[in-house]
């Protein structure tokens, strides 16, 4: 139960302002959930140096220096590391699976919060406004970002329980609502070899989508398949490196608003999150229809 | 067992007992599920399975006639600084929400009189606020339900507190129900329904779902009432730990948790007996949630569902409740199921003490009916006096126990004053099995 | 005389929601109010009980004009969830779109949404009149008890599910009818009623013959085994 926001920039002139825009959106959603928060930013050159892949790590129990030294030693290539709040962003010019495995080897108890090219996932427990400041979110850059403010329903308030759930290469999912048959679906995924980091119902949805996509489904197909299998109420925002999709369940109780201009596409649980966006006065403003997938990509704009 | 069965040494099946078989035959004959009133009838771990440790040598009791043992309670203190006026009740036993429609106007009148006489509150139900109950109730809680029958902003502002109802113990996750026999012209008018129809009710609120949207709904109710009245959130006991936390996050002043023994005017039998958790199991969950949020006593907890006497009141409060609510017990005090109407109950195929067909509108006691003649059997003044007497007795009983445990206020009772008689109740109430220091499951934490 | 002097203006960038609503609730309050920069605020102009003219210049959040009594409230923009929920009297006009549950459980007054209304428009309505200029979403007029719903565009799935005595008029297509909702004959009194509703909402040009009336088949008014699939 939460607030969600997402921003997909069309105009590269706005890339330097991504963090500022996303930060104001996130902070407006604080009343929908104030126990923890998380964001995913696509394309910040500080957090994700060009030419590298980045793994976002929580609870490594090691200092950034210790961690980067250990990873460098294993990989035999230099890595860069950024400590952003509780999250450690480790980047290296290698295959992302190799980097992920190396981090798992040197920090066995750690939690991979996200991985992929150009993707930084930051999470923390606390008030969204404090976290946005701690992340330095307002000065972040990039072409796409999503954010989530959480009011935990049935799972623990821990960094691992925060959204976004970024469980596929470059993929993220944030969720407002709750699933009511996730325990069975979790068992089915575990039977298929999927592993979980938290007890959160959203993680089941995120891993389900990642699993569908791993088997070759498109985002649209994966989200459609989720809507067939999952009971419950949800507004979902699914992103990957180049795209951004919004879907609501058929009953559509959980709110969502989309705004579009030539410069950007924004989505939020409530309109008030969008009020500070440049050009909002003339944006095309609408609510996503139930059970319909709305998707945008950096290459083309489409509403399926 | 019939004499013949006894004589022949016949053995009844514990699984397919007589009432089970009767229900199978009834379902087979009618094709409609069984609807009834009342609460769960099966044996559940309950307050009976707990005992108090009175004072003796290590602790000192208070003298019953001289030394003070307070009974008053403040409900709705969380936002007092913002102007919300807490309800100050003289006793910690309140009257639970019951609708006009389910109950007769005279019964609502009597509840208001009885409650006001002892300085406690009564509560409206699905169907709106009647003049009888507002007029007779010094402290009135106005329920805000999914159906919004009779919902009126004037009444919101006339209420002393607002109770946002998500569910009740008899049917967590289910909507209300009122059958045609009870939709008289007055009930129909209040609910904007055609007379005599079988009412269908929603199980979700029409304009919000989940704690994030409840936060906004509570804000609206506060704005409409200019931040004057406390806002309760009532849930049926099921996922009580989470529900309590979420209600606090959403901004509630008071949490009301109704256990599965709590009654209803009408719902499916399968709901009453098979959905929800016992009151005993719910209280420690709610108390734990409040404690973890640092909101014990700041957000008050009201417990209902099967509260019958002062010992139950004391036990619920020792486990963490700030107050309790009674429904069934109050109706019995008014005359429900009274043996003086034994013949009438039998004529309905029931018996005094067994009657639960509140949905039929034929209640011989006149409490749960809209029948003009039957309801005249209940004299609101006399009924109010009986209820007031009963509430006084409950309070004195709870005080007796609190004093015996050395407490200067009933609210000072604590879980450590209790022990359990059974392993089940020990595990649920999280108090040790009598004579031991063992709480099942405590090693693993909760 | 300058009529502007009769209008009190609030700006939600400099005033709080509480200040605005408190001012609108003052006993004996009268006149016209203009509220600027609502910025999606919730419960704006909720609980008003006076013959005020209130104009809100911009998009509002949840429960705008909630439980309105007497006031004429115009929202120049989109409205969030539950606009004019449980309205008792007066009128609310939304010039843009309305989110879900517009006019939920409202007992009286007139709600006009010039754009589209999302799902559950008029859910459990109890006497209000709702006129929607565009389309309505699924489950509109769910359990609708009384009042009239007019849709100038199309209606989504399950229109009028479990409806009681509300009358629905739709000009466009209906994706599907809910349980116990059925097409009904447009008799002269219905043309008259519809014309009056359209006129009240400012749609004077519509031909009432282009509309179809829907209402309760009244088959679910009593529990019977034959209806088991509909519950």
User: Which of A251, A252, A271 is facing C61, going by the closest CB pair?
Assistant: A271
Cβ contact B297:B276 at 8 Å: no
Count CA atoms closer than 13 A to B224's CA, side-chain side: 34
pLDDT at residue B250 greater than cutoff 50: yes
pLDDT for position C226: 61
User: How far does A116 lie from chain C, in Å, by closest CA?
Assistant: 35
Cβ contact A31:A80 at 8 Å: no
What band does C225 get if pLDDT is binned at 50, 70 and 90? low
Bridge partners of residue C170, in order along the sequence: C151, C212
pLDDT digits (tens, 9 = 90+) for C87-112: 999 999 999 999 999 999 999 999 99
Average pLDDT value for residue range B264-291: 95
Using a CB-CB distance cutoff of 8 angstroms, which residues of chain B are in contact with residue A32? 212, 215
Helix (H) and strand (E) counts for chain C?
2, 11
Tokens standing for B258? Answer: 């109704």
Rounded to whole angstroms, the Cα distance separating B290 from B246 reads 10
pLDDT digits (tens, 9 = 90+) for A206-258: 999 999 999 999 888 998 899 999 999 999 999 989 888 999 999 999 999 99
pLDDT digits (tens, 9 = 90+) for C134-162: 999 999 999 999 999 999 999 999 999 99
Average pLDDT value for residue range B136-165: 96
Of B3-12, B85-94, B276-285, C202-211, minimum mean pLDDT range: B3-12
Please list, residue by residue across B164-192, b when 16 or more beta carbons sit within 10 angstroms of its beta carbon and e when fewer do.
Answer: bbbbbbbbbebbbbbbbbbbbeebbebbb
Residues 49-88 of chain A whose Cβ lies under 8 A from any Cβ of chain B: none
Cβ contact B162:B140 at 8 Å: no
pLDDT digits (tens, 9 = 90+) for A157-195: 888 888 899 999 999 999 999 899 999 999 999 999 999
Across the interface, do A1 and B246 touch by the CB < 8 Å criterion? yes
Q: Whole-model pTM? A: 0.94
pLDDT at residue B432 greater than cutoff 80: yes
Across the interface, do C118 and A252 touch by the CB < 8 Å criterion? yes
**What is each CA distance from A218 to A117, A118, A172, C82, in whole angstroms?**
19, 20, 14, 35
Q: Is A286 on the interface with C (CB under 8 A)?
A: yes
pLDDT for position B444: 55
Chains in contact with A via at least 3 Cβ–Cβ pairs below 8 Å: B, C
Best mutation target among A256, A271, A283 (most C Cβ atoms within 10 Å) is: A271
Across the interface, do A272 and C61 touch by the CB < 8 Å criterion? yes
**What is each CA distance from B164 to B136, B240, B255, B257, in whole angstroms?**
22, 16, 10, 12
Across the interface, do C127 and B192 touch by the CB < 8 Å criterion? yes
User: How far does B212 lie from chain A, in Å, by closest CA?
Assistant: 5
pLDDT for position C217: 94
pLDDT for position A115: 95
Best mutation target among C36, C38, C40, C81 (most A Cβ atoms within 10 Å) is: C40
- Known catalytic membership, residue A253: no
Pairing of strands C32-36, C126-132: unpaired
What band does C2 get if pLDDT is binned at 50, 70 and 90? very low
Pairing of strands A294-297, A284-286: unpaired
| Closest-approach residue (CA) in chain A for B209 | A253
Rounded to whole angstroms, the Cα distance separating B311 from B334 reads 21
Rounded to whole angstroms, the Cα distance separating C120 from A254 reads 13
pLDDT at residue A304 greater than cutoff 70: no
Higher pLDDT, A133 or B177: A133
**What is each CA distance from B204 to A210, B145, B167, B201, B212, in whole angstroms?**
32, 9, 9, 9, 15
Measured in whole angstroms, the distance separating CA C35 from the mean position of its chain's CA atoms is 20
**What is each CA distance from C169 to B436, C85, C200, in whole angstroms?**
71, 21, 15
What band does B266 get if pLDDT is binned at 50, 70 and 90? confident
Rounded to whole angstroms, the Cα distance separating B382 from B378 reads 8
Rounded to whole angstroms, the Cα distance separating A10 from B122 reads 59
Using a CB-CB distance cutoff of 8 angstroms, which residues of chain B are in contact with residue A2? 212
Q: Is A287 on the interface with C (CB under 8 A)?
A: yes
pLDDT at residue B96 greater than cutoff 90: yes
Residue with tokens 């009904």: C184
DSSP string computed for A23-65: HHHHHHTGGG--SEEEEEEE--TTTS-TTSEEEEEE---S-HH
pLDDT digits (tens, 9 = 90+) for B369-388: 999 999 999 999 999 999 99
What band does C227 get if pLDDT is binned at 50, 70 and 90? low
What band does B127 get if pLDDT is binned at 50, 70 and 90? confident
Residue with tokens 């944030």: A174
- Which among B95, B282, B272 has a CA at the least distance from the CA of B177? B272
Average pLDDT value for residue range C170-188: 97
Residues 247-276 of chain A whose Cβ lies under 8 A from any Cβ of chain C: 251-253, 255, 257, 270-275
Q: Which residues contact B48 (CB under 8 A, 6 or more apart)?
A: B421
Rounded to a whole number of angstroms, the CA Rg of chain B reads 22
- Which among B369, B403, B367 has a CA at the least distance from the CA of B383? B367
Residues 246-305 of chain B whose Cβ lies under 8 A from any Cβ of chain A: 246, 249
| Closest-approach residue (CA) in chain B for A253 | B209
Best mutation target among C42, C75, C79, C80 (most A Cβ atoms within 10 Å) is: C80
Across the interface, do B210 and A35 touch by the CB < 8 Å criterion? no
pLDDT for position A301: 42
Cβ contact C152:C115 at 8 Å: no
Rounded to whole angstroms, the Cα distance separating C159 from C180 reads 10
- Angle at which helix A128-135 crosses helix A18-28, to 10 degrees, equals 160
pLDDT for position B392: 98
| Closest-approach residue (CA) in chain A for C119 | A252
Measured in whole angstroms, the distance separating CA B441 from the mean position of its chain's CA atoms is 28
| Closest-approach residue (CA) in chain A for C101 | A253
- Which among B152, B229, B223 has a CA at the least distance from the CA of B191? B152
Using a CB-CB distance cutoff of 8 angstroms, which residues of chain C are in contact with residue B192? 107, 126-127, 145-146
Tokens standing for B221? Answer: 């109710």
Tokens standing for A52? Answer: 């590298």
Cβ contact B137:B120 at 8 Å: no
pLDDT at residue A302 greater than cutoff 80: no
Measured in whole angstroms, the distance separating CA B30 from the mean position of its chain's CA atoms is 32
User: Which of B204, B212, B239 is facing A32, going by the closest CB pair?
Assistant: B212
Average pLDDT value for residue range B268-272: 91
Helix (H) and strand (E) counts for chain A?
7, 16
Rounded to whole angstroms, the Cα distance separating B148 from B126 reads 7
Pairing of strands B50-52, B418-420: antiparallel
Across the interface, do A270 and C40 touch by the CB < 8 Å criterion? yes
Mean pLDDT score across all residues of chain B: 94
DSSP string computed for A89-102: EEEESS-HHHHHHH
B18 exposure class (CB count in 10 Å sphere: 0-12, 13-18, 19+): exposed
pLDDT for position A48: 96
Rounded to whole angstroms, the Cα distance separating B303 from B94 reads 10
Across the interface, do C82 and B207 touch by the CB < 8 Å criterion? yes
User: Which of A151, A177, A254 is facing B246, going by the closest CB pair?
Assistant: A151
Best mutation target among A150, A151, A235 (most B Cβ atoms within 10 Å) is: A151
Q: Name the catalytic one among A2, A27, A48, A162.
A: A2
Using a CB-CB distance cutoff of 8 angstroms, which residues of chain A are in contact with residue C36? none
User: Which of B192, B193, B220 is facing C66, going by the closest CB pair?
Assistant: B220
Residue A157: CB atoms within 10 Å: 15
pLDDT digits (tens, 9 = 90+) for A67-110: 999 999 999 998 999 999 999 999 999 999 999 999 999 999 99
Using a CB-CB distance cutoff of 8 angstroms, which residues of chain C are in contact with residue A253? 100
């Amino acid at each position: 139960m939460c607030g969600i926001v997402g921003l997909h920039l069309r105009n590269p002139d706005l890339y330097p302002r991504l963090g500022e825009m996303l930060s104001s959106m996130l902070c407006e959603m604080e009343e929908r959930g104030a126990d923890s928060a998380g964001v995913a930013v696509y394309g910040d050159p500080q957090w994700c140096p060009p030419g590298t892949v980045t793994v976002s790590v929580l609870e490594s129990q090691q200092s950034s220096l210790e961690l980067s030294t250990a990873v460098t030693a294993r990989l035999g290539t230099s890595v860069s590391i950024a400590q952003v709040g509780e999250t450690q962003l480790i980047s290296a010019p290698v295959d992302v699976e190799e980097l992920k495995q190396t981090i798992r080897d040197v920090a066995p108890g750690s939690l991979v919060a996200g991985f992929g090219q150009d993707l930084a996932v930051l999470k923390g427990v606390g008030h969204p406004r404090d976290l946005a400041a701690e992340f330095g979110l307002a000065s972040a850059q990039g072409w796409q970002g999503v954010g989530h403010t959480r009011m935990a329903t049935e799972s623990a308030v821990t960094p691992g329980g925060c959204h976004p759930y970024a469980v596929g290469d470059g993929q993220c999912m944030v969720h407002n609502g709750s699933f009511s048959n996730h325990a069975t679906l979790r068992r089915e995924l575990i039977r298929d070899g999927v592993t979980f980091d938290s007890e959160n119902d959203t993680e089941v949805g995120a891993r389900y989508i990642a699993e569908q996509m791993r088997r070759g489904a498109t985002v649209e197909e994966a989200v459609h398949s989720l809507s067939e299998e999952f009971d419950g109420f949800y507004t979902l925002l699914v992103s990957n490196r180049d795209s951004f999709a919004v879907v609501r369940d058929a009953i559509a109780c959980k709110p969502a608003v989309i705004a579009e201009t030539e410069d950007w596409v924004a989505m939020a649980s409530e309109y008030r999150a969008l009020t500070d966006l440049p050009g909002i006065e003339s944006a095309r403003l609408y609510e996503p229809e139930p059970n319909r997938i709305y998707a945008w990509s950096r290459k083309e704009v489409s509403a399926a | 067992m019939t004499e013949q069965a006894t004589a022949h040494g016949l053995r009844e099946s514990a699984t397919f007992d007589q009432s089970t078989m009767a229900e199978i035959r009834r379902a087979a004959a009618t094709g409609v599920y069984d609807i009834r009133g009342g609460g769960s009838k099966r044996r559940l771990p309950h307050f009976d399975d707990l005992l108090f440790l009175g004072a003796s040598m290590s602790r000192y009791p208070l003298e019953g006639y001289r030394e003070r043992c307070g009974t008053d309670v403040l409900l709705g203190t969380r936002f007092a600084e913002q102007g919300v006026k807490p309800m100050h009740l003289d006793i910690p036993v309140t009257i639970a929400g019951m609708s006009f429609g389910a109950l007769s106007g005279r019964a609502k009148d009597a509840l208001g009189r009885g409650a006001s006489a002892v300085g406690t509150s009564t509560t409206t139900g699905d169907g709106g606020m009647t003049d009888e109950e507002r007029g007779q109730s010094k402290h009135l809680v106005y329920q805000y339900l999914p159906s919004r029958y009779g919902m009126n902003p004037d009444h919101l502002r006339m209420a002393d507190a607002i109770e946002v109802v998500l569910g009740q113990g008899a049917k967590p996750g289910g909507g209300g129900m009122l059958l045609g026999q009870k939709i008289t012209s007055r009930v129909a008018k209040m609910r904007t329904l055609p007379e005599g129809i079988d009412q269908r009710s929603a199980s979700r609120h029409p304009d919000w779902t989940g704690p994030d949207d409840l936060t906004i709904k509570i804000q609206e109710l506060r704005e409409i009432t200019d931040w004057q009245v406390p806002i309760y959130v009532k849930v049926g006991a099921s996922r009580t730990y989470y529900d309590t936390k979420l209600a606090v996050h959403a901004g509630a002043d008071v949490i009301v948790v109704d256990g599965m023994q709590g009654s209803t005017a009408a719902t499916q039998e399968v709901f009453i007996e098979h959905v929800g958790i016992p009151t005993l199991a719910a209280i420690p969950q709610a108390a734990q949630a409040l404690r973890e949020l640092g909101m014990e006593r700041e957000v008050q907890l009201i417990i209902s569902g099967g509260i019958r006497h002062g010992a139950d009141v004391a036990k619920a409060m020792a486990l963490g409740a700030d107050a309790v609510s009674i429904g069934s017990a109050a109706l019995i005090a008014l005359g429900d199921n009274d043996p003086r109407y034994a013949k009438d109950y039998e004529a309905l195929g029931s018996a005094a003490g067994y009657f639960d067909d509140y949905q039929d509108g034929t209640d011989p006691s006149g409490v749960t009916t809209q029948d003009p003649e039957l309801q005249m059997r209940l004299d609101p003044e006399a009924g109010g006096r009986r209820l007031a007497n009963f509430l006084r007795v409950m309070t004195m009983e709870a005080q007796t126990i609190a004093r015996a445990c050395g407490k200067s206020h009933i609210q000072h009772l604590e879980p450590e004053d209790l022990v359990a008689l059974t392993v089940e109740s020990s595990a649920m109430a999280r108090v040790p099995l009598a004579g031991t220091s063992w709480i099942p499951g405590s090693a693993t934490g909760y | 005389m300058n009529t502007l002097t009769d209008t009190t203006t609030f700006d939600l960038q400099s005033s709080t929601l509480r200040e605005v609503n408190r001012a609108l609730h003052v006993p004996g309050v009268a006149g016209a109010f203009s509220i600027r920069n609502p910025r999606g605020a919730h419960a704006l102009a909720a609980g008003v009980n006076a013959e005020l003219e209130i104009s809100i210049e911009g998009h509002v959040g949840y429960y705008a004009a909630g439980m309105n009594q007497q006031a004429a409230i115009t929202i120049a923009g989109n409205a969030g969830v539950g606009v004019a929920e449980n309205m008792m009297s007066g009128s609310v006009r939304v010039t843009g779109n309305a989110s879900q549950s517009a006019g939920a459980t409202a007992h009286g007054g007139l709600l006009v949404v010039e754009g589209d209304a999302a799902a559950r428009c008029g859910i459990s309505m109890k006497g209000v009149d709702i006129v929607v200029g565009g389309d309505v979403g699924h489950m509109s007029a769910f359990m609708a008890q009384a009042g009239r719903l007019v849709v100038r565009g199309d209606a989504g799935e399950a229109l009028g599910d479990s409806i009681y005595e509300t009358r629905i008029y739709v000009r466009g297509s209906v994706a599907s009818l809910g349980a116990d909702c059925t097409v009904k004959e447009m008799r002269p009194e219905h043309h008259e009623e519809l014309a009056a509703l359209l006129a009240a909402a400012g749609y004077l040009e519509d031909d009432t013959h282009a509309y179809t009336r829907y209402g309760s088949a009244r088959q679910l008014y009593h529990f019977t085994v034959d209806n088991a699939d509909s519950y």
